[in-house]
Amino acid sequence: MPSAPVQGEVLELMEYEWRTNNLKLQVWNVGTIDSVIRGAFIGEVDLRLSGEVTIPSNKVGLIDIDTSRRVTTVGAAYDLRLVSKTGSVFAFALTYGMQEKLIGESCLEINVRPPGYPEIGATWTIKAYIVSKTVHGPIRTPAKNAEAHMIVYLKDGSSRIDLEYTNDKGEALFCRDPDFVTVSFQAFLSLETSVLVTEKVQLTEEFVPAEKARWASDISLFMSLPYVLVGLYVSRERKPSTRRWKAAVWLFFAVVAVVLVISGVLTVSSIAWMFYAGTAWGYPKNILGDMMAYDTFVSLFSTWVVLYICALFMGLLFLVEPKIKGYPTKPLRKLSEPSTLTEKSSR
């Protein structure tokens, strides 16, 4: 867009080809007056046009520019400025080595991986792109030497901004510290006369390492199933007659039932979690959206461990059936039956 433009003088870049030292532009004059281009610059380097180029109003003009006076790198972005006779300056962001028909202005975008919070000590990879909109779709070119900012709010209520510059691949790395509360990213690319700015990317999702999730789900699934056999065996073979031991047996069945229910919940949620939400950097902390989060998963697993140990102790006690004082080896006689001593005395 023009800098200090004259009213009615507006130019739009339609197409360009810049594969060698010769830059070819197709510029559309969408203004109400004719525009006469008399200069072209990349940074402070005057490219010295061979002559003035007049672009009538509502017409497309062709401009050939010799860029041999400016050292260029394939894939790098440069800010080209066209200066008209009226003093208006029109700036366009171009990438050397490209030939495309543009349908809009170039912009800057960033990609954050993982798109959420990894485990403590892991890193984020930020990749910045220059996006050129063409008739064939957007073209993304790595933005070299762009400023990548990580905006962090800490547990003590303070905030800070970490700065890294992107490499030749447009990438920058940031590490997660344990005192981070919220993190967002933004990038800036300074051209000769303009600055491209990305929208701020706010992280919301929390990711859990895949190994922890798989271990918890496998343990809860395969170690709960044997309790079904133990419960059946106890119910069929061991029938203690005192009220205390009958209550213990019913308590054992209740604990086993709760253990199996928790194991089922963990298994079903972890299956949906692992097969439908797995990523290269782990699993999302919200397993099933708002229905199941990883913290709830851990709490259920901790409860499962406690109940599993209790049921294991009780099951072994019933299976071994130790001779404890007060535990009858034979069923007690019902109170309604007459005793042997009463029968003898009556005779």
**pLDDT class of 213 with cuts at 50, 70, 90:** low
Q: How far is CA 334 from CA 43, 92, 324, 337, 338, in A?
A: 106, 101, 22, 6, 9
Check pLDDT > 50 for residue 59: yes
Which of the two residues, 110 and 59, has the higher pLDDT score?
A: 110
First to last CA, the chain: 124
Residues of the chain with CATH 2.60.40.1890: 2-101
How many Å apart are CA 56 and CA 58, to the nearest integer? Answer: 6
Q: Of all residues in the chain, what percent carry a pLDDT higher than 90?
A: 13
Q: What is the per-residue pLDDT across 220-255, written as a single tens digit (0 to 9) for each? A: 656 666 655 655 555 555 555 556 666 777 777 788
Q: Residue 5: what pLDDT?
A: 55
3-state secondary structure of 171: strand
Average pLDDT over residues 326-342: 46
What topology does CATH give the domain 107-203?
Immunoglobulin-like (2.60.40)
Q: Of all residues in the chain, what percent carry a pLDDT higher than 70?
A: 66
Q: Residue 118: what pLDDT?
A: 83
The CATH-assigned architecture of domain 2-101 is: Sandwich (2.60)
Q: Which residues contact 113 (CB under 8 A, 6 or more apart)?
A: 124, 125, 127, 281
Q: Which helix (H) or strand (E) holds 63?
A: strand 60-66
Average pLDDT over residues 309-324: 67
Check pLDDT > 70 for residue 274: no
pTM, to two decimals:
0.51
